[in-house]
Amino acid sequence: MLTIKVLGPGCSNCVKVAEVAEQVGCRVEEVRALWRAFGLVVGDPDQPVASDVDVDMIRTSVGMSAILGVEATLGLSRVMGSSMARVGDAASTSVRGNMPSMSVAVSGSELETARAFAGIAGAVPALGRVLD
């Protein structure tokens, strides 16, 4: 039997951008600028979006900004965000290239494709931890 877990929006321990600013001790505008520089979507201000790891990322970036300056830190954040996107693309390409059944067009079956996705799903959190 195949079980698929559907995740809703947000996460149970996430905080809003304003709460990130409060925890870090900076302005909301700084958090939003860094968030965008990392390539993340700045959406509804009332939507909890930042995990504990995200708060630490912003805290570290604000600290770097005090040393390197705002523009250099935003530039570095853009490079880091772009690099993470490239790693994600490479991971996706590797998986899809080695697991062709992840495409309905190849497998010919939605069930087979769902099974292929379920088979690799356990590796996703581990890859996330490696990238963190």
66-114 residue pLDDT tens: 999 999 999 999 999 999 899 889 988 888 888 888 889 999 999 999 9
* Cα dist from 39 to 10, 46, 54, 78, 91, whole Å: 17, 19, 13, 7, 18
2-33 residue pLDDT tens: 333 333 455 778 999 999 999 999 999 999 99
**Three-state helix/strand/coil letters over 38-50:** CCCCCCCCCCCCE
| Residue 5: per-residue pLDDT | 33
| Residue 88: per-residue pLDDT | 86
pTM: 0.75
Rg of the chain's alpha carbons, rounded to an integer? 18
| Residue 86: per-residue pLDDT | 93
Pick the closest to residue 60 from 42, 39, 80 (CA basis).
Answer: 80
124 pLDDT exceeds 90? Answer: no
| Residue 9: per-residue pLDDT | 53
